[in-house]
Amino acid sequence: MTGPERPATRPPALAVAGRVLLVAAGLLVAFVAYQQWGTAVTHWEGQRSLRTQFDRSLAAAQHTGGGTAVAVRYPAVGDPVGVLVIPRIDLDQVVVEGVQAAQLAVGPGHYPGTALPGQAGNAGVAGHRTTHGAPFYSLDRVRPGDPIVVTTVQGRFTYRVVRTLVVSPDDGAVLGPTTSPRLTLTTCTPKYSAAQRLVVVAALSTPPAPTTPPAGGTGWARLDDAAPGARPWLVLAAAVVALAALVLVVGVVRRRDGGRPGDGGRPGDGGRPGDGGRRWARWVPWLALPVGVVLVLVAFGALDTLLPQGF
């Protein structure tokens, strides 16, 4: 006579794989939420700071120049360039100098090496389409003839949209130097994709301001200048390793010191019967939680910089 059959147990490897997949799915959902709402917080905070800086610069320029279009220095990366207004899509944002992750996270970015808005030549501006406040989310609604107004410390300049087109990410011809004053806006397309670039070209319809050549001379900017860099991989790897180490430590502490419920503690460990091991071990996961959240946010921030900067 045989005894009762033992219930089948789930293979440990399968159980671990299931937990890993659940955690991965949760992190993926959290990252999407971070992209949609978390980056918007950074964007609007950056816009507020840029607006304050620009207002101060504009007030100083009007005080010293008497409201005339005087020559200005070429802005440094991170400085406010001007205020971009597109009535058709209700856009009113400060443009920052630079098109890398740090700059486009806070607003539309001016391509270094291109002309400044309001001056002779081709002024290029890139912006996010679906993340970081999505300033260029509705750029596809702009039509030929629509006004685009840019206010800089040199004055207020009105452009009229000439055309829109879609190009490949490695096509930099749209940002090449021009003899006529032009404004070129670029972003990713279609929405939620970085497969191509949407380009809006506008011509200046008001007199241009005195020209300010960039420090390195006017040259050809490229659409892929607004692209991710390599350094964030190091930050991302460090955050992932730190998070993995934290999970491992918490797991070891809980297994060694938590004991099994009601086991009365290990013999000779000085624990009281029924205390389930050292009481402090029960609080380790809760104490580690905020640290884990910070590490996850750091990892999300690093991963965000790896995405195309018009996304």
pLDDT above 50 for 116: yes
By residue range, what is the domain housing residue 193? 41-225
Provide the pLDDT confidence category of residue 201 given band limits of 50, 70 and 90: very high
Q: Are residues 238 and 212 in the same domain?
A: no
Residue 155: what pLDDT?
94
Provide the pLDDT confidence category of residue 96 given band limits of 50, 70 and 90: very high
Residue 221: what pLDDT?
61
Q: Is 25 helix (H, G, I), strand (E, B) or coil?
A: helix
Instruction: Convert the pLDDT of each residue in 136-154 to its tens digit.
Output: 999 999 999 999 999 999 9
pLDDT above 70 for 41: yes
Provide the pLDDT confidence category of residue 25 given band limits of 50, 70 and 90: confident
Instruction: Tell me the sheet residues that pair with 203.
Output: 160, 182
Q: Are residues 254 and 184 in the same domain?
A: no
Q: Are residues 121 and 269 in the same domain?
A: no
Residue 264: what pLDDT?
46
Q: Return the C-alpha torsion angle 186, 86, 155, 165, nearest 10.
A: 30
CB 100, CB 126: distance < 8 Å: no
Provide the pLDDT confidence category of residue 263 given band limits of 50, 70 and 90: very low
Mean pLDDT in residue range 213-227: 60
Q: Are residues 172 and 239 in the same domain?
A: no
Question: Buried (b) or exposed (e) across 3-22, using 16+ Cβ within 10 A?
Answer: eeeeeeeeeeeeeeeeeeee
Domain stop point among 225, 260, 293: 225
Provide the pLDDT confidence category of residue 74 given band limits of 50, 70 and 90: very high
- Residue 71 CB burial class (10 angstroms; 0-12, 13-18, ≥19): exposed
Instruction: Convert the pLDDT of each residue in 290-310 to its tens digit.
Output: 767 777 777 777 666 666 655
Provide the pLDDT confidence category of residue 79 given band limits of 50, 70 and 90: very high
- pTM value? 0.74
Q: What DSSP state is assigned to residue 36?
A: I
Instruction: Convert the pLDDT of each residue in 225-260 to its tens digit.
Output: 565 544 555 556 656 666 665 666 566 555 655 544
Q: Are residues 219 and 296 in the same domain?
A: no
**Between 9 and 229, the higher pLDDT residue:** 9
Q: For the chain, give the mean pLDDT.
A: 79
Domain stop point among 171, 195, 225: 225
**Alpha carbon distance 204, 157 (integer Å):** 7
* CATH label of the domain that carries residue 178: 2.40.260.10
**Alpha carbon distance 80, 96 (integer Å):** 4
Q: Is 115 helix (H, G, I), strand (E, B) or coil?
A: coil
Residue 172 lies in a domain: yes
Angle between helices 232-257 and 280-304 (to 10 degrees): 170
Q: Are residues 60 and 165 in the same domain?
A: yes
Domain stop point among 180, 206, 225: 225
**Between 8 and 240, the higher pLDDT residue:** 240
Residue 262: what pLDDT?
47
Residue 2 lies in a domain: no
Provide the pLDDT confidence category of residue 213 given band limits of 50, 70 and 90: confident
Q: Are residues 155 and 280 in the same domain?
A: no
